[in-house]
């Protein structure tokens, strides 16, 4: 039987051994999933963020690092993305990077929502004031309502994250902007970091807030895994770009119009139909203004009327005006900029050239003397199927016809497949003439 003193010594030894084993066991590496948002904010980016958060939770990752470079975009989509960041089950660090990047307009709200907000050197943040579709200031009443709404959202985000509420208010009211060092000095963001590793080392030392408390980690040893959005998200991001959707819409309208005015071309109709289907899908997702879409459809109708009504070009001018106004009004982004004039003007000009070209081809066809029956085959090339002396069979316009040489043509023997020219007809027999380079005497 062991003495109490001996038992106490044994227990102390056991506890010491367990402590040493625990200290020797390496702690699990801190895992970070990096996602990139380097484009305008659209529904595709919101889907990408939701998918990245889900991927980070499934991995599992300890932190989602969102690399941000955006000129802004839809306020409605921005609100959805802010909600995703705030309700994410893991911390989300929003990092304006690489150098030269910006977090403008709606991007300011994403930075404000981040658990950690950081910027790379030579980056900027700010200019969150709403502007009109043409880039002008909004009317006073509309401007005040939108600014108050956005300001209240930004103030709430900044207050929640302990950042400079007053500056975020100025970003909306005065379109204020800051460089990275200025943003840290003004407590707009938390850190300036030259790259991802530097950012993680700084976050690891200062700690990051989680529902269970502040967590510190070794940023130098953290594992960074890149998030790959996949082909579907890449295509969706491209398709849901308002500029791409707009170009596809006008290309589709022009292609279908060209096919209607010049039947048989096939390619314009096929390309136009595909472009129109893709554009309509994008318009069903993007914040589309019904008035703008109706004006674009009205423009197509006016161009069609120009073909049947003598208006001395007035209908065409009205169509161009409707096309331009419809382009300006096509998208509404809760007060933020829609399509730029630098895109609208050349696109409208190009579409007008295509439409006028189709009108010219149709007018040229209408001016030609109509030909009915077999006279429509005059001047057409036919291929000899078989030939003997002065008569044989020829293939023209998908049909096989009896044919003979015209009276003034010398007797010739044609090889099968030789082309001849239709010059007349007698009853249902075509009169043909040889092409000298394809006839054998």
Percent of the chain at pLDDT > 90 equals: 41
Report if residue 127 sits inside a domain.
yes
Take residue 350 and report the two structure tokens written for it. 């190009």
Per-residue model confidence (pLDDT) at position 14: 59
133 and 210 assigned to the same domain: yes
Cα(125)–Cα(182) distance, integer angstroms: 10
Token pair, residue 28, equals: 């699990």
- The whole-number average pLDDT for the span 275-296 is 87
Average pLDDT over residues 178-197: 97
Containing structural domain, residue 434? 373-438
What is the token pair recorded at 283?
């318009």
CB–CB of 425/433 below 8 Å?
no
Mean pLDDT of 191-202: 97
For 235, half-sphere exposure in the C-beta direction (CA atoms, 13 angstrom radius) is: 5
Single residue among 367, 398, 419 that ends a domain in this structure: 367
Residues 81 and 50 in one domain: yes
Q: Confirm whether 38 is domain-assigned.
A: yes
Helix, strand or coil for residue 297? helix
Helix (H) or strand (E) holding 433: strand 429-434
Nearest to 109 by CA among 89, 132, 87, 86: 86
Last residue of a domain, one of 347, 367, 387: 367
CA dist 410 and 390 (Å) reads 8
Distance, first Cα to last Cα, the chain: 130
Domain of 57, CATH number, reads: 3.90.226.10
Do 185 and 297 fall into the same domain?
no
One domain for residues 63 and 205:
yes
Answer whether residue 2 is part of any domain.
no
Q: Are residues 49 and 81 in the same domain?
A: yes
Are 381 and 292 contained in the same domain? no
Q: Tens of pLDDT along 75-99?
A: 889 999 999 999 999 999 999 999 9
Question: Based on the domain organization, do 355 and 386 belong to the same domain?
Answer: no
Number of domains in the chain: 3
Please tell me the pTM assigned to this model. 0.67
Within a domain: 331: yes
Residue 370 has pLDDT above 80, yes or no: no
Provide φ and ψ at 258, rounded to 5°. -65, -40
Mean pLDDT (the chain, rounded) = 84
The CATH number of whichever domain residue 412 belongs to comes to 2.40.50.140
Q: What is the pLDDT of residues 116-147, one digit of tens each?
A: 999 999 999 998 876 544 444 455 556 677 78
Same domain, 300 and 346: yes
Residue 352 carries which DSSP code?
Answer: H
Q: Which of 233, 251, 270 is the last residue of a domain?
A: 233
Extended strands (E) in 49-186 = 63-68, 92-96, 102-104, 116-119, 124-126, 177-179
**pLDDT per residue over 327-366, tens digit each?**
888 886 544 446 888 888 998 888 778 777 766 766 666 6
- What's the pLDDT score for residue 182? 97
Residue 233 confidence class, pLDDT cut points 50, 70, 90: confident
Distance CA 154, CA 152 (A): 6
The lowest-confidence range among 16-25, 35-44, 273-282 is 16-25
Give dist(CA 291, CA 287) in Å, integer.
Answer: 12
> Are both 139 and 177 inside the same structural domain?
yes
Centre a 10 Å sphere on the Cβ of residue 383 and count the other Cβ atoms it contains. 15
Judge whether 5 lies within some domain.
no
Q: Does the residue 101 lie in any domain?
A: yes
Instruction: Assess if residue 24 is contained within a domain.
Output: no
427 and 359 belong to one structural domain: no
Residue located via tokens 């006279």? 375
Q: Are residues 170 and 36 in the same domain?
A: yes
Q: CA dihedral in degrees (122, 127, 133, 137; nearest 10)?
A: -140
Residues 138, 48: one domain?
A: yes
- pLDDT of 10 reads 60
- 178 lies in some domain: yes
Q: Which residue has the higher pLDDT, 159 or 379?
A: 159
Burial class (CB in 10 A: 0-12, 13-18, 19+), 35: buried
């Amino acid at each position: 039987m062991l003495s109490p003193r001996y038992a106490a010594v044994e227990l102390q030894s056991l506890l010491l051994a367990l402590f040493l084993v625990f200290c020797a066991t390496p702690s699990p590496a801190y895992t970070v999933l990096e996602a990139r948002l380097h484009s305008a904010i659209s529904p595709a980016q919101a889907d990408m963020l939701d998918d990245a958060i889900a991927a980070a939770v499934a991995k599992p990752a300890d932190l989602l690092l969102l690399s941000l470079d955006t000129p802004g975009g839809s306020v409605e989509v921005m609100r959805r993305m802010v909600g995703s960041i705030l309700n994410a089950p893991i911390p989300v660090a929003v990092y304006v990077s690489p150098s030269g990047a910006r977090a403008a307009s709606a991007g300011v709200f994403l930075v404000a929502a981040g658990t950690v907000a950081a910027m790379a050197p030579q980056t900027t943040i700010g200019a969150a004031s709403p502007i009109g579709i043409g880039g002008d200031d909004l009317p006073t009443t509309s401007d005040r309502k939108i600014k108050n709404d956005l300001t209240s959202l930004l103030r709430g985000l900044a207050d929640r994250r302990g950042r400079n509420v007053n500056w975020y208010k100025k970003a909306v009211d005065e379109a204020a902007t800051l460089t990275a060092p200025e943003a840290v000095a003004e407590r707009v963001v938390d850190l300036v970091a030259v790259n991802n590793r530097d950012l993680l080392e700084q976050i690891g030392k200062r700690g990051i807030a989680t529902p269970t408390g502040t967590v510190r980690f070794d940023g130098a040893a953290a594992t960074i895994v890149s998030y790959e959005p996949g082909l579907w998200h890449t295509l969706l991001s491209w398709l849901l770009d308002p500029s791409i959707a707009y170009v596809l819409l006008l290309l589709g309208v022009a292609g279908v119009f060209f096919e209607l005015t010049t039947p048989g071309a096939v390619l314009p109709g096929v390309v136009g139909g595909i472009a129109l289907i893709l554009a309509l899908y994008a318009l069903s997702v993007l914040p589309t203004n019904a008035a703008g879409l109706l004006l674009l459809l009205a423009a197509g109708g006016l161009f069609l009327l120009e073909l049947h009504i003598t208006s001395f070009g007035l209908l065409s001018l009205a169509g161009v005006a409707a096309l331009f106004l419809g382009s300006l009004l096509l998208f509404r982004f809760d007060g933020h900029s829609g399509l730029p004039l630098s895109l609208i003007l050349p696109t409208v000009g190009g579409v007008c050239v295509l439409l006028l070209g189709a009108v010219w081809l149709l007018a040229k066809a209408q001016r030609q003397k109509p030909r009915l029956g077999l006279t429509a085959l005059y001047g057409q090339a036919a291929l000899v199927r078989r030939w003997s002396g002065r008569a044989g069979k020829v293939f023209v316009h998908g049909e096989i016809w009896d044919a003979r040489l015209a009276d003034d043509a010398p007797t010739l023997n044609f090889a099968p497949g030789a082309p001849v020219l239709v010059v007349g007809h007698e009853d249902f027999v075509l009169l043909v003439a040889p092409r000298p380079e394809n006839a054998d005497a």
